[in-house]
Every structure is written in structure tokens, then in C-alpha cells.
Structure 1
């Protein structure tokens, strides 16, 4: 089992090993990319049981039919759930968790690729953390040019708001179901980004330990056009402004210009 890094906090109690992990994937029109992620999940070296729930946020690309006859369906206990009632990944993830049977929830995205040890490393750190952020790399799914547009932190470094709290992305994230329910899941008002940071902040403000699993690695697919990067950057900026509005009275510092 992976031990905690020296600087890591530990929960006041031993949280143990999940009886079942539910992997939730929010997706809208991902039929052309999701198979790579599903294959990666089928190749996990995690020894415990897990299920995979695809929360479909209004796809129009025949995603459901594609998954109904998927060759990996039995191997990864694949389920499709209708999450089209409200636009956005926050709502889709909540709907996925709503039908999940697991006592530990892991989140990843349809267009990325988890490494074989991803679930094993997330659940190892979850033994002493109410929630766990993993790590991402951008070299295996993106060209060098595209990588240069958006540098990422090294896997050993947790994502955080400087001078405040950790905010790992939900493309590599895990949380005990009890804590997810305690904080009320994702806030669907964050429909322009930062829904993951908002959840992470609420977990920590509620007294939960948010651990870091540097070996729970995900190959992250970047936007591969300048227009796409710009659109994503604008969305992230709006999300961060939303965060500051909600948490400035809880000690969140304002960004420098």
C-alpha cells in the first residue's frame, strides 16, 4: 500500500477499503473518444470490485446504443444513466452518483485515459483521506505544440488555490460516498467551470481531509485548437470569479491582476 507523503494530513479515523468503487463518467457526445477510456478502465490493476457509470448529459451521437452493446460491458459492470435533465458536468456527475452502488466514488472524463494503477492509488490514499485528488499528464495524448499552450503541474504537486485550499480537477478524483452526501454533491450553479474546485473547498471546510495521490495518473486530452483553448480559458476565468464571490468570506484570497 502507498504511504502518505510527509506533508499529507490524515483523517482522524481509518477509512479502510471500499466494498465497491463506482466510477462516474459525465459525457455529452463522446462516442468517438469514450472507448479508449473504457478500455483503460478494463485494464485497471485494482483488485477490488468496481462498476462504471456513464452519465449522459444529453448526447445526440447515439452514445446509448453504442454502450448497450459494448464488448466491455460485463467486464467493467458498465451502466448508462440519463443525465439530460440539466446542462453541465456537475449535474451529470450528481446523477451518476445518485444511481451508484459504491461506497467510494471515482470520477474521470470520457476523453482522457486513466493509467492502469489509477484506482489502486486513489483507494490507497482514500484509506486516510475523505477525498483524493490524482494527477494528470499531457504528453501522451497531445502534440508538443498543444502541450505548450497549457503547462501542467508535476504529478507530485497538488493543485491548490495559492494561500488557500486544494482544488484537484475531477478528471482524476475520488471521494467517499458519505462525504459526498454530507456536502451535498456538486453545485449545479457552477455550469461554467470550477464545479470541481467548489466541491473540493466545501469538503475541506466541512473538516474533510483531501489527500493527494501522485501515482493516480490520468492522460489528459487538451483542447487542440487556439479557439478551443481560448474558450476553455474564458470558462475557467468565469468559474474562478464565481468561486471568489462564494468564498471570499471564507478566506479565499483575490487573484493578483
Structure 2
């Protein structure tokens, strides 16, 4: 019998861990750790930096960070080595294995948690086994970069009509019992979309998910078009992998062959060689859509399915 957090841990005894997968990017990590050190959550918690980079300098960097930064005594900050495997999914699983928490929160190293983020996330965990929070791109990104991607709603989770809602690994918390019941993150996920897969498997296993709009994470976008292209291709490939994995489980699928020609024509008519006054779309937004569709095509070839 699976014992769920909502009935097994009281607010007074709840142990909380924040797991952060790290692979370089220490200048941006400094911002996130500073934000986590300033949380209004009034009880002890730990921050586990899961270091996925071989021959990393994170240990020395962290020692210097702690020396120069005031860390509240209620916060335990530590590094664990996760360089034996590859990818964020492996790093998160290793982080959970080393963490002491009954409730595990996940964040990315390059984002910035709002001061009351953890307080709201922990409070919401009384209502569900998996808690999702919103990602706000308006504060820490240049306006031109923020315009490249459609803004995610701040008042509701990511929806998949006909299936389950999902949480982002950049802003979620899960009971240890739920995480262990599903075997953690799928370390075979090669591209992206492991957070969707994780959220869906948690709910398929009978656990509940809730959304807490006040647990806001300031989300950092890719700052160059090249980085945006790479990310969106990975998203497309990841969505195809999830299509293959979850279609037999009740997912309505992501294959829309009758809409695909319309998408191609629309993007062709809005290509950045034409004047912006005609296309009404920035070069970055165009790359966002084209890269994702290209990723789905590549994913279809790799998985030998038709998913466009």
C-alpha cells in the first residue's frame, strides 16, 4: 500500500529538500542560491546541488559562496556528485536519493525563486502529492528575448486536453512516496519533456496534482536564437517520445497531419525575409515555431512514427 505524504507527514514534522541539478553556469547559480537563501519559509530545509559535471569546480565555488554570503542557520546547503550519469533526469534522481526530505522541490540552477516561493509550495503540498507552480518570464529576461516565446499562464498549469495536467521541473514539489513509487525521472529521456512524462506517471499511479499560483519562479529564457533553436528542437523530439510512451496509456496523441500543411504554409508566409509589418512575427518567435516542428519531424524519424 502506498502511503501518501498528505496523510503521513504533519506540517510540524515535514522535512523539505530542494534539489538543483547543476552543470556549470555558476554565475547564474549564484542568483538562484541567493534567492533560496532569502526564502520566507520559516522552518529548516536543505538545498542539494546535484553536480552532473565531471571534474567540476562546484565544491570550491560553493565554499567561497558560503564564505561571502549570509546563509540562514535553518538552511543546509550541500553538493553531491552525480557525474557518474548523464543528464538532468539522472542528476535529479541522484539528488533525491541523497536528500533527507519527505517533500522534494525541484528548481533549475539558472532561474530565480521569489522570496515566498517555498512557503507557498510547502503549504500547497497539504492538498496534493505533486505541486506545480508558475514560471514568470517577465522579470529576468530582456523584453526582446521574452517576446520570442509565448507567455505561459500564471494562473493554471500546463494542460493536455484529454489527459493529465503537468508540472515543470523548474518549479515543482513532490512527495518522496510518489517519486519512489514511479521510479523517479526517466533517465532514458534523451531530449526534453521528462517533466511532462514524470507528472503524467505520478497521476497515472493514483497520486494527485495541484497548482499553486503564488509559488512563482522567475524563469530564464535562452538568450540567443541559436540556443532557442536547440532548445525547441529538443522539445519537439521529446514530445514525440512522450507521444510514443503515453499514447497506449490514454494520451490523445500529438499527431495532427491535417493541420501540419497549414502550419507549414503559415510559417512560410511569416518567414523573417519578409517585412515585419507583413509577418507580424519577430525572427525569434518564428525560430521558436519552426524549430519545434523540425524537432517533431526528427523525433518521428527516430521513433519510426508519424507525429507531426
After TM superposition, the score normalised by the length of structure 1 is 0.91
Measured in 1, the distance between the counterparts of 2:91 and 2:6 equals: 32
Higher-Rg member (1/2): 2
| Residue in 1 that maps onto 2:110 | 111
Deviation at 1:195, TM superposition (A): 1.0
Decide whether the 8 Å contact of 1:30 with 1:63 is kept in 2.
no
| Residue in 2 that maps onto 1:55 | 50
Measured in 2, the distance between the counterparts of 1:59 and 1:172 equals: 26
| Residue in 1 that maps onto 2:64 | 69
Corresponding position: 1:242 with 2:241: yes
Measured in 1, the distance between the counterparts of 2:189 and 2:99 equals: 22
Q: Which moved more, 1:204-213 or 1:56-65?
A: 56-65
State the Cα deviation string for residues 154-187 of structure 1 (Å, max 9, x = none).
2102112232111111100000111111111111
CA, structure 1 residues 251+19, in 2 after alignment: closer, same or farther (shift >3 Å)?
Answer: same
| Residue in 2 that maps onto 1:90 | 89
State the Cα deviation string for residues 138-164 of structure 1 (Å, max 9, x = none).
011111111111122221021122321
Decide whether the 8 Å contact of 2:37 with 2:71 is kept in 1.
no
Measured in 2, the distance between the counterparts of 1:192 and 1:64 equals: 28
Deviation at 1:68, TM superposition (A): 2.6
| Residue in 2 that maps onto 1:29 | 24
The residue correspondences of 1:195-206 to structure 2 (distance < 5 A) are 195-206=194-205
SS state of the match for residue 24, structure 1? strand
Corresponding position: 1:45 with 2:45: no
State the Cα deviation string for residues 36-74 of structure 1 (Å, max 9, x = none).
101101111111210000001115562221013322485
SS state of the match for residue 77, structure 1? strand
SS state of the match for residue 233, structure 1? helix
Deviation at 1:131, TM superposition (A): 0.7
Measured in 2, the distance between the counterparts of 1:146 and 1:135 equals: 19
SS state of the match for residue 104, structure 2? strand
After TM superposition, the score normalised by the length of structure 2 is 0.76
State the Cα deviation string for residues 177-223 of structure 1 (Å, max 9, x = none).
11111111111011311111111011000011111011110000000
Measured in 2, the distance between the counterparts of 1:229 and 1:222 equals: 8
**Which structure has more RCO (C-alpha within 8 Å, separation ≥ 6)?**
1
Number of equivalent positions: 247
